[in-house]
Amino acid sequence: MRFEHVLSIATVCLAVGCKSRESVPSGSGTQTANVTVETKIQPVQFPAPATIDTGTRARLPKDEQAKIPTSTVPVLVPKDDALLAVSTLMIEDVWTAFHAQANDITVHVAGTRLAHEHPEIPPSPGQIPIRSGKGRVTVNEGIRQATFEENGVSYAVDVECAKHDDTRCATDAFVIELTNGLVYVGGGGS
Amino acid sequence: MKRLALVLAVLAVAGSANAATFSYRPPGELVTGSGKGRVDTKVYAPGIRFPIESAPAYLNSQVWGHGGSSGPGGSQCDVANFSYPWHDNYCESRSWTMPLCPSGTGHQGQDIRAANCTRGVHKAVAVDDGTVTNIGTYSVYLTRADGTRFDYLHMEKVAVKVGQKVTRGTLMGYVSNQFGGTPTTVHLHFNMQQNVAGTGVVYVPPYLSLIQSYQKLPGVLPADAGVDAVVVDGSKDTSVADAADDTSLEEDAPPIGIPDAEEEDVGSASTPADAPSDEGGCGCRTAPGQHSGAGLGLGFLALLLSVRRRR
């Protein structure tokens, strides 16, 4: 076989890919349940105003304190001074989120009263004791997350460590401890 | 010989077109040996924008792909990692609690590679209007008004701030390998989290939402795809039951292409697909759709040489 023939075949292989590869689309598709996802607003029970941890609330930045009464869910925050000092509260119609980054960890606490209804997903509540009920702990690429429901609100608490070898993200213990220590600082007009 | 060369040249043209044509494996079908996926054809976040600004992008496993710890070896920049069809990797083997995964544990989201393995050049953008509620060392969370949370992991040059309200398409950062001091492969790990009634806050499957959104990017669909090609059907609850019997989920089933109609407006600041491939020290190779043109050119050149010699 002449050189140019070999070259021709080799370059065609380069173009089409001679190594084993999946075949190309058939042109047919799959039917998907691309329906509008139904949602519902869960009724929220706010704790009594007397249970507000006023001391912790006072350690939040002033601007963040001012946002608390507008929250439509009970606002839960950690008591850690370093985190409180640099925290940000974000409040939307159906959810409130807390963010803070200090001491090589990032903490995100979000509570929502809106639930997405996916009837094909059988109910599967968490089984781990968290706060006054049951919840769940998972890991997302090293980020520990605890989830639980309280007062009609679904919460998720994320702890991300800046360094891989940080023992706080090596097990569930720290995120559970932090979640159990969250305190109520207001919401719903209070 | 002349005829053979002509046939090969025609094959090269056909192969070139196919290599760049979007296709994907069915939802729930993971790389062999990487666990059991969730067979779920529900689009959990219909209508979102694709989280990487421009095509091409490739959904597949980092761990079980080339350059991954459980992969077939080679470099993360291997051309096979940057080719269609896409593969689901939600629920891929992990020890992490995942109530929606068949095993109860698994990978929470979807790994997305941009056009090539160069870090810091491919833009990750907001999939919808929302608020940036978290920026960690290697994570950014975008929370939509309905509480759906979209997680962007491993980015660099994060372009947003905590508390910032963003609109769909806003630059969030650049696809990279950030992972708390120990780099991972260059990719965007993308999660979707919702508060599911009866279950609580969980990571929901992102694969079909990403497929639907990807088809709206310029260049993904053939220009003549037409209405008949639209098979993401929003009219009925067609799929969960159907999917269980779907023979396309068998291992040897062909990949699926599901074009949609409208293209996403990505503005004028698109990242070029031919960005320098050796930046970031990855020794990148280009994706099939990019090199096939050169291959074709050489193929035709060789063919012409062959014909001229014969004469």
| pLDDT 10s digits, B168-192 | 999 999 999 999 988 999 999 999 9
pLDDT in the model for residue B255? 55
Q: Domain ranges for chain B, please list them.
A: 24-277
| Residue B264 binned pLDDT confidence (cut-offs 50, 70, 90) | low
- Does A68 contact chain B (CB < 8 Å)? no
Verdict on whether the full-model pTM lies above 0.80: no
Residue identified by tokens 């559970």 is A176
Does A12 fall in a domain? no
| Residue B258 binned pLDDT confidence (cut-offs 50, 70, 90) | very low
Could you tell me the fold of the domain covering B24-277?
A: Glucose Permease (Domain IIA) (2.70.70)
Low-confidence ranges of chain A (pLDDT < 50): 1-31, 33
Residues of B in contact with A138 (CB under 8 A): 96-98, 108, 203
Chains A–B, number of C-beta pairs less than 8 Å apart: 300
Q: Is pLDDT at B287 greater than 50 in this prediction? A: no
Does A147 or B241 have the greater pLDDT score? A147
Number of domains in chain A: 1
Q: Which domain holds residue A85?
A: 38-118+126-186
Q: Give the end-to-end CA distance of chain B in Å, rounded to a whole number.
A: 12
- B270: distance to nearest CA of chain A, Å? 26
pLDDT in the model for residue B256? 57
ipTM entry: 0.84
d(CA A6, CA A11): 9
Residues of B in contact with A30 (CB under 8 A): 26, 41, 231, 239, 243, 246, 248, 256, 258
pLDDT in the model for residue B222? 81
β partners of residue A146: A137, A157
Nearest by CB to B200, which of A25, A108, A136?
A: A136
* Mean pLDDT score, B131-143: 98
pLDDT in the model for residue B67? 96
| Residue B272 binned pLDDT confidence (cut-offs 50, 70, 90) | very low
Cis, peptide link before residue B27, omega less than 30° from 0: no
Does A31 fall in a domain? no
The answer to whether B49 touches B264, Cβ cutoff 8 Å, is: yes
User: Hey, of A30, A160, A169, which one would you mutate to test binding to chain B, going by the most B CBs within 10 A of its CB?
Assistant: A30
Segment B202-214, tens digit of pLDDT: 999 999 999 999 9
Touching B: A residues 129-158, CB under 8 Å: 135-143, 147-149, 154-156, 158
Residues of A in contact with B193 (CB under 8 A): 156
pLDDT in the model for residue B36? 97
Q: Amino acid identity of B44?
A: Y
Does A143 fall in a domain? yes
